[in-house]
Amino acid sequence: MSGESKPWRPKLILASASVRRLELLQQIGLDPDALIPADLDETPNKGELPRALAVRLANEKAAAAARIAAERPELEGAFLLAADTVVAVGRRIFPKCEIVDEAAQCLRLLSGRVHRVYTGVTLVTPKGGKRHRLVETRVRFKRFSSEDMEAYLASGEWRGKAGGYAIQGLAGAFVVKLIGSYTSVVGLPLNETVSLLAGEGFPAHLFWLNRV
């Protein structure tokens, strides 16, 4: 989305309004040609497991964005990426916190415990094919002191975040151990995303040339 001259490549759509997902793609040299966020009800279905929710929402976001992209001739032949991240302890799915009491409840449940972060990624190819990947990461937080809780809640950084935290922000200070993909916890597992793209012929490495 920048104005710099770059080698030719197929167009890429990111089906998200997430700043962090855009920044992750840009980190590996991929600047999407369009951002098409999908406005979906992300409420889990009754009895739906966290990993199933991440996969379903990534698929639904991809489908919704693909319908919009089909009406834009300039995006014909584009690859489309969608992702969804779910934070859970056991079967319990944590919400994207919007009020302080909600965030406080999430943080109390995460304090001193291991939780799991699931990110589903869906790639729609120019020919309409779909490929999927689910990445699971285990994260252990320190036991929070009252000062930790009060200061973090006062920061407001929890707002709109699944589980009430963003690992790339202040909550990075809470992480004792992480097993899996850090970028998946941020919002988009880069290794798996590049693998999906490369597997369908998208020249992701092209942008690595002449970057310095």
What are the start-end ranges of the E strands in 6-152? 12-14, 34-35, 79-89, 92-93, 114-124, 130-141
Average pLDDT on 89-93 reads 95
- Neighbour-count burial for 45-78, b at 16+ CB within 10 Å, e otherwise: eeeebbbbbbbbbbbbbbbbbbebbeeeeebeeb
Spatial separation of the C-alpha atoms in residues 40 and 188, rounded to whole Å = 18
**pLDDT reported for residue 210:** 54
Query: pLDDT category, 208, cuts 50, 70, 90?
Result: confident
Query: Of all residues in the chain, what percent carry a pLDDT higher than 70?
Result: 94
Does the 12-208 domain belong in CATH 3.40.50.1100?
no
Residue 2 has pLDDT above 90, yes or no: no
Which residue has better confidence, 39 or 90?
90
Query: pLDDT category, 106, cuts 50, 70, 90?
Result: very high
Choosing from 31, 33, 41, 84, the catalytic residue is 84
Residue 6 has pLDDT above 60, yes or no: no
What are the start-end ranges of the E strands in 24-179? 34-35, 79-89, 92-93, 114-124, 130-141, 175-179
Told to judge if 41 belongs to the known catalytic residues of this protein, a careful annotator would answer: no
Average pLDDT on 177-203 reads 95
pLDDT digits (tens, 9 = 90+) for 48-66: 999 999 999 999 999 999 9
**pLDDT reported for residue 39:** 81
**pLDDT reported for residue 212:** 45
pLDDT digits (tens, 9 = 90+) for 153-189: 999 999 999 999 999 999 999 999 999 999 999 999 9
**Domain layout of the chain by residue ranges:** 12-208
**pLDDT reported for residue 4:** 52
At a CB cut-off of 8 Å and minimum separation 6, what does 62 contact?
15, 38, 80, 81, 82, 122, 123, 124, 130
